[in-house]
């Protein structure tokens, strides 16, 4: 195993034990211990699709599928591939449900820790740091699917019970990893979205004290409010928390919409490198003002089926990487593996798993059910009348966090239409045997995936340079 040094915050830099500056260059391992609909193809949120799959498959086949999935989605060959690209870190998202059941709060499950341990150890063997990221919290810390939220309300901020459980889990994680330098640090809450703006900072301060009592050494990576784009809550502190990195997420609009070119106009606004840089500077103003390190916890374009669009999307990514280098920012590209929208590698269309779910993928695309990477073009006949009513009756309505149109899209596309499609998705797995379930999961094994070669080349060239 490669020996990895402890990393700590030194002013606006990260440094190892010898004082040498380190820039973390990595990816997110989305879809593994925190599943997401666009990554593995199901509709809606993770807990609901698991409920449906268990009902259709039965416990034996269900367990066989997920045991295989956890192993094959990230294994030795995946870690070796990331090392070959020159990456030195992986942000590992996980759902609290791996460690605790809602029916038995505060009773922690060893299998979740073992699952996480395996990949942390794999990565360290290849000289790669881990950042542990609690991506889905009890009660849901934001309003969308990636916190395993089946609704549009983030109730974590309203209930001390949920907050107590998160502190308890992080105390256990701190105890587990306090002597392991291959873990660069802890990212306690992914993309918090506290509508009041009043709960986030006091909770972070409470969490910091609880973790530091057990583990004074690891870095804390703290996301800003409103999906890690708003740092105004931290202005109330006279100084930043010690050994802490405040993390921004920096998705560039042309890369995550139905844009056709870059540089060019997206949603009525012209985007080029200068505009992308100004967005980055706005999102990282707090870090530069306080003299703390910059870590972009998520960024990166999605890719369409039209391969002719790849060059401008790669150019956008190159521009962002060059901007990060100019400002000494660390980063984690989203995401490593999926079924074709954004990953460095993907399960192939002819794989057993993707072939099985293909009809539902087509329905998802036609109805724009996924919030991430979906288009509403096929459901304008539903949305236009709703928009007309709001224009007439509630013209000033702008709900938190993103305003009216995204709010309606979540309620109609991502909840109302996703729920019946989840049932139909589950029907695809009815009668699957344990052996067949294991074969389906193996569609995500590295040697059966396809590499997005152009994306790998962008990363390799940047890291060499």
DSSP state of 147: G
Q: How many CA atoms lie within 13 A of 341 on its CB side?
A: 25
Find, among 369, 301, 374, 311, the residue nearest to 335 by Cα.
301
- What is the radius of gyration, based on Cα positions, of the chain? 21
Structure token pair of residue 26: 């990595």
Distances (CA, A) of 57 to 247, 273, 429, 436: 40, 49, 6, 11
Residues annotated catalytic, as ranges: 191, 298
CA angle 86, 88, 89 (to 5 degrees): 135
What are the strands, taking DSSP E only, across 147-202? 183-187
- 61 with 437: CB under 8 angstroms? yes
DSSP codes, 224-282: PHHHHTB-GGGGGSSSPPTTEEEEEE---HHHHSS---SSEEETTEEE-HHHHHHHHHH
The phi, psi pair for 438, rounded to 5°, reads -65, -40
Non-local CB neighbours of 424 within 8 Å, separated by 6+ positions: 360, 363
Cβ-based neighbour number of residue 288 at 10 Å: 12
């Amino acid at each position: 195993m490669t020996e990895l040094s402890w990393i700590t915050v030194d002013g606006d830099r990260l440094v190892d034990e010898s004082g040498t500056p380190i820039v973390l260059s990595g990816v997110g391992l989305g879809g593994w211990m925190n599943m997401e609909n666009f990554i593995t193809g199901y509709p809606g949120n993770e807990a609901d699709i698991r409920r449906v799959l268990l009902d259709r498959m039965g416990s034996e086949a269900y367990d066989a599928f997920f045991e295989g999935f956890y192993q094959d989605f990230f294994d030795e060959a995946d870690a070796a591939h990331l090392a070959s690209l020159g990456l030195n870190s992986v942000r590992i998202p996980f759902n609290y449900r791996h460690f605790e059941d809602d029916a038995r709060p505060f009773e922690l499950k060893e299998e979740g820790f073992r699952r996480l341990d395996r990949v942390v150890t794999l990565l360290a063997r290849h000289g790669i740091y881990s950042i542990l990221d609690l991506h889905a919290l009890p009660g849901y810390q934001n309003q969308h699917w990636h916190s395993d939220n089946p609704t549009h309300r983030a109730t974590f901020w309203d209930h001390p019970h949920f907050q107590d459980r998160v502190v308890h889990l992080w105390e256990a994680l701190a105890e587990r990893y306090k002597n392991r330098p291959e873990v660069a640090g802890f990212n306690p809450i992914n993309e918090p979205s506290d509508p009041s703006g009043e709960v986030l900072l006091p909770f972070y301060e409470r969490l910091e004290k609880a973790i530091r009592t057990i583990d004074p050494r690891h870095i804390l990576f703290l996301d800003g409010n409103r999906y890690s784009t708003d740092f105004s809550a931290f202005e109330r502190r006279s100084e930043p928390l010690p050994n802490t990195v405040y993390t921004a997420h920096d998705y560039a609009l042309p890369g995550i919409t139905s844009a056709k070119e870059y540089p060019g106009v997206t949603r009525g606004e012209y985007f080029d490198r200068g505009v992308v840089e100004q967005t980055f500077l706005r999102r990282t103003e707090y870090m530069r003002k306080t003299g703390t390190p910059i870590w972009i916890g998520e960024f990166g374009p999605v890719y369409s089926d039209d391969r002719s669009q790849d060059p401008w999307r790669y150019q956008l990514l190159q521009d962002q990487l060059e901007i990060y280098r100019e400002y000494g920012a660390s980063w984690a590209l989203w995401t490593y593996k999926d079924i074709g929208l954004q990953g460095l590698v993907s399960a192939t269309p002819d794989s057993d798993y993707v072939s099985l779910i293909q009809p539902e993928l087509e329905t998802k695309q036609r109805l724009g059910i996924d919030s991430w990477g979906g288009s509403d073009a096929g459901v304008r006949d539903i949305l236009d009348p709703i928009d007309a009513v709001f224009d007439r009756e509630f013209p000033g309505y702008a709900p938190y966090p993103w305003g009216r149109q995204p709010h309606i899209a979540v309620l109609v596309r991502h909840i109302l239409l996703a729920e019946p499609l989840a049932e139909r998705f589950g029907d695809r797995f009815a009668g699957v045997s344990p052996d067949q379930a294991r074969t389906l999961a193996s569609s995500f094994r590295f040697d059966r995936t396809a590499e997005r070669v152009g994306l790998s080349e962008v990363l390799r060239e940047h890291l060499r340079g």
